[in-house]
Structures are given as structure tokens and as C-alpha cells.
Amino acid sequence: MRDSFTTRLLPTGKPEEFKTAVRAAADLLRRGGIVAIPTETVYGLAANALNPEAVSAVFSAKGRPSHNPVIVHVDSMPMAHRCVREWPVQADALARAFWPGPLTLVMLRSALIPDSVVAGGSTVAVRWPRHRFVQALIEACEFPLAAPSANPSSRTSPTTAEHVWESLAGKIPLIIDGGPTWVGIESTVLDVTIDPPRLLRPGMIHAGALRAVTGKITTGGGPNDPVLRSPGLLEKHYAPRAALLMGSWADATELACRLASCKADKRGIHLLVHTIPPMNPGAYGRLAILPRDPEAFGRLLYAELHRSDALGAQLVVVERPPDSPEWQGILDRLSRAAQGRL
């Protein structure tokens, strides 16, 4: 694979631009190339999911460990069926309720899916995205797209084309600008090879919404759980360069102690909150007040983390969101971004 590219950035805002971008991306993908594309969750780095060499180019551009399988994106139920050996009954109801959308279903893989996509495992993760660009692109290609998030492995996922540019310019030939993504965190991942289905990664489609369709689901049991789990989900992930600390103003004393004990200068500390903090925020490097609404918070969170990184923050303090089902996806990303830090 080439390791240095002149990276092109194509807009999609006007109908002609949209068509040109679909054509350019489809051409590249057909020739085994890789391209960064918008989806409704985060920007993805896409390759032809049926071409093992193209898929390995995605892994090397990201520095992604080969044991971490990637999601396969489809544009229809027939294409989803072709990726899967056995189609579980639950998958039909879930697809009817949530596809196209930010739900990924883990099922037994068909012979069509190469080993590298699924890290040699027996299952494949499939999603039918809602974003019009990726739909048009898969329609043009007529093959499914393997696409992890378009960022260096373990870092914060990109929610704008500029985020992709900052980390992958020079490493990939093409970035498609489809505007800011509107879900803003990665898809919910649900294993439907077992009954009841098992939630592997929480997301904006939350456990309550899934239960309304499937009746029952189980949730993850941690690293020692013997049941099939999601390989990429045990590691530190989704992290900004700055250290990240989650805290609650209800624990103001504890949080103040932790802030005082950390080495960062106050100007290097950024506060990301949804209520006004009790201390004087003026002393800190930056205060961002996000809406106390999970969907709006999720849409803005990664952009705020990218912004703090761009401004050179040493520590980002995020106010702990409520512990209700709607916030689980956000809590999960924040906990894993904070893991092993401080």
C-alpha cells in the first residue's frame, strides 16, 4: 500500500457535487481504494467489504489492530442477507424498527465475507445506514462497504470532514464532506446470534428501545465474561489526546480535590458541562455548556473533544451525564475515553 497521498476533499452540498462525489468515491472503491465518507453516526473509512486487500488498507491507514472486526454497511435487506449465513427472527423485527439507522446487528457470517473483515471470527456485524450519501454510494458500488470510524485507532471518532482531514490527510486519497453527522456517536451493536440478544455496545438506540422490539436483551458482563463479546470494546477507546475526567458537581468537594491534585495548569483544563459549575469557571481554559439532552449532547460531544485537542487542552473535565437508559451510549464512550488516564 502507498503511505503518502495527495488527499482530495469533495463537497456534496449541491446536487451536482453530490453526484460527482458518489462517482469519484465509487470509482476508487471499485479499484480497491479506500475513502472517508459521512454516515449519520460518525465518518467512516470505507473499503469494498468483499476485497481483503482493500480492507487491510483500511486497517493500516488507521493503525487498527487486526483482532478488531469492522462493521459491514449495506443498502438493502437483500444485501444484508447476502452477508449472513443464518438470519435470526429477531433481526427482522429489529431491522423493521431501526433500519436504516444507527443499529448494528451481529450475526453468523456468510462465505462472502473475508476473514480480515471479521477478525477471523464466525460472526459479522451488519448495518444499513440512513445517511443519504453512503446509501447512494453503496447503490452505485453494488457491494457492501467495510467501514470503521475514519480516525487513528483508539482516538475520538470524527463527526466532520475537517476532523478526518486533521488526522488522515496524506494517508488516504479522498475525503467526502457530507456535513456534521447528526447522531454523533458510534452505532449501537447488538448480538442477535443468541436469544435473548445481547447488547455489545450501547448507542443512541438504547436498551429500552431495543427491549420494546425484542422483549428482552442482556447486557455485557465485563472482561471475564465467557460469552461471545465485542473484541474492540474492552480497550481504551474514543479518547482525545488530552486526559479525560468525568465528575459530577454533586461531588464538588471530591471533584475539586481531584482537580487540585492533577498537575495540569488551570488554563490547560477545559470544562464540558450541562449545568453551570459551582466554582468560578473563568479560571479555566474553556467552558462549553452542552444541552442536557442525550441526542443533542451526543451530536456535539466529539466536536467539543476535537476542539479541546486542537486548542492543546491537557485535561478535559466532562460533567457526568444522568444514569438513565438514554444516556448509556454517551456514558460508555466517556468512561472508555477516561480509562487508564489520571
Asked if residue 39 binds Mg ion (CB under 5 A), the reply is: no
HSE-up of residue 85 (Cα within 13 Å, Cβ side): 10
Minimum CB separation of residue 236 from ligand AMP in Å reads 12
CA gap 105, 63 in Å, rounded:
25
Asked if 189 is part of the footprint of ligand AMP (rule: CB under 6 A), the reply reads yes
Contact with ligand AMP (CB under 6 A): which of 231, 277, 281, 325? 231
With CA atoms as reference, report the closest residue to 278 among 321, 248, 308, 323.
Answer: 248
User: Which is nearer to ligand AMP, 118 or 244 (by Cβ)?
Assistant: 118
The smaller minimum CB distance to Mg ion, of residues 67 and 96, is found at 67
Q: How far is CA 6 from the centre of its chain?
A: 26
Which listed option, ligand AMP, Mg ion, none, makes contact with residue 173 (CB within 5 to 8 Å by class)? none
The region of 67-75, 80-88, 128-136, 325-333 touching ligand AMP under the rule CB under 6 A is 67-75
Give residues with Cβ within 8 angstroms of 18, minimum separation 6.
12, 133, 136
Q: Is 106 in the site for ligand AMP (CB under 6 A)?
A: yes
- The one of ligand AMP, Mg ion, none whose footprint includes residue 164, by CB under 5 to 8 A per kind, is none
Among 116, 123, 149, 156, binds Mg ion (CB under 5 A): 149
| Exposure string for 71-92, b = 16+ CB within 10 A, e = fewer | bbbbbeeebbebbbeebbebbe
| Contact call for residue 181 and Mg ion (CB under 5 A) | no
68 binds Mg ion (CB under 5 A): no
The minimum distance between CB 84 and ligand AMP, in angstroms, equals 11
- State the DSSP code for 165: H
Contacting residue, 186, 304, 326, 332, with ligand AMP by CB under 6 A: 186
Nearer to ligand AMP, 51 or 149 (CB): 149
β pairing state of 188-191 and 198-201 = antiparallel
Query: Which CB, 135 or 149, lies closer to Mg ion?
Result: 149
**Contacting residue, 33, 148, 202, 285, with ligand AMP by CB under 6 A:** 148
User: The C-alpha cell of 188 is what?
Assistant: 449501537
**For residues 199 and 271, which CB has a smaller minimum distance to ligand AMP in the complex?**
199
316 phi/psi in degrees, rounded to 5? -110, 120
Decide: is 39 part of the binding site for ligand AMP (CB under 6 A).
Answer: no
> Based on CB atoms, which residue is closest to ligand AMP, 188 or 288?
188
Amino acid at the residue 75: D
- The count of chain residues that interact with ligand AMP, using the rule CB under 6 A, is 19
Shortest Å distance, C-beta 105 to Mg ion: 18
Listed ranges 88-96, 135-143, 230-238, 261-269: which one lies at the site for ligand AMP (CB under 6 A) = 230-238
Name the strands in the sheet holding 218-219, side by side, starting at the edge strand that comes first in the sequence: 8-11, 174-177, 35-37, 44-48, 145-146, 71-73, 123-127, 103-108, 188-191, 198-201, 218-219
Check residue 41 for interaction with Mg ion (CB under 5 A): no
Residues 6+ positions from 14 with CB-CB distance below 8 Å? none
Helix segments in the chain, DSSP class H: 15-30, 52-62, 77-82, 89-98, 132-141, 161-168, 207-214, 252-261, 294-310, 328-338
Stretch that binds Mg ion, among 33-41, 92-100, 148-156, 253-261 (CB under 5 A): 148-156
Residue with grid cell 489492530, as numbered in its chain: 65
Q: What is the CA 36 to chain-centroid distance, rounded?
A: 13
* Residues contributing to the site for Mg ion (CB under 5 A): 149
* Residues contributing to the site for ligand AMP (CB under 6 A): 68-71, 106, 118, 121, 123-125, 148-149, 186, 189, 200, 230-233
